[in-house]
Amino acid sequence: MYKSTRMNKAKAVFLAVIVLFAAALSVRLISVNAGARAVKVQGAADIVAYLNTFGWAVEPEPVTVKNVQIPAKFTETYQRYNDLQKQQGFDLSRYRADIVESYTFRVLNHPAAGDVFANVLVYKGRIIGGDICSFSINGFMTSFDGKSMNS
């Protein structure tokens, strides 16, 4: 037996508000939690496009592409690096002991003098972390959006 209920205007407005609130919350959670983690890549061109979303102009070909192993146990230094990753929506602790691809691109438009590089870590076709850095005497390391490890 089916029961039919009528929806008056107040119930319809209430339901619409709930649906809109849930949709807004979902969009916010996706943008905060998924961030870059949701980005699938199939190679260097996709990574360049991803870096462009942060305003970085990079050379189209990587300087290096190599396999690196995420440590099974994080040293203090690597834990600080993972803290930077967490600031930008990644968490490398999920990939302990895994072999990942590391792409390094030369950044062409960073205001710092000297060579600046974008390092991007990829695992099974997904970006899982990375940084913008300089190895000069006054070197630095930041997240993709330019926020430093210490901010």
Mean pLDDT of the chain: 81
Q: Are 106 and 58 within 8 A, CB to CB? A: yes
4 pLDDT band, cuts 50/70/90, is low
Predicted confidence (pLDDT) at residue 22 exceeds the cutoff of 70: no
CA dihedral 151, 136, 144, 105 (to 10 degrees): -170
- Of the two residues 101 and 148, the one the predictor is more confident about is 101
Q: What b-and-e string marks burial along 109-127, b requiring 16 or more CB atoms within 10 Å of the CB?
A: ebeeeeebbbbbbbbeeeb
For 28, residues 6+ apart whose C-beta sits below 8 A from its C-beta are none
Q: Are 66 and 102 within 8 A, CB to CB? A: yes
SS3 content of the chain, % helix, strand, coil (to 5): 35, 25, 40
Phi-psi region of 43 (alpha: psi -120 to 50; beta: other; left: phi over 0): left
Looking at residues 129-142, what average pLDDT do you find?
A: 92
Looking at residues 28-47, what average pLDDT do you find?
A: 66
Looking at residues 73-77, what average pLDDT do you find?
A: 97
Q: What is the pLDDT of residue 130?
A: 97
- Of the two residues 36 and 30, the one the predictor is more confident about is 36
Q: What is the pLDDT of residue 44?
A: 97
DSSP 52-99: HTTT--B-SS-SEEEEEE--SS--HHHHHHHHHHHHTT--GGGGTT-E
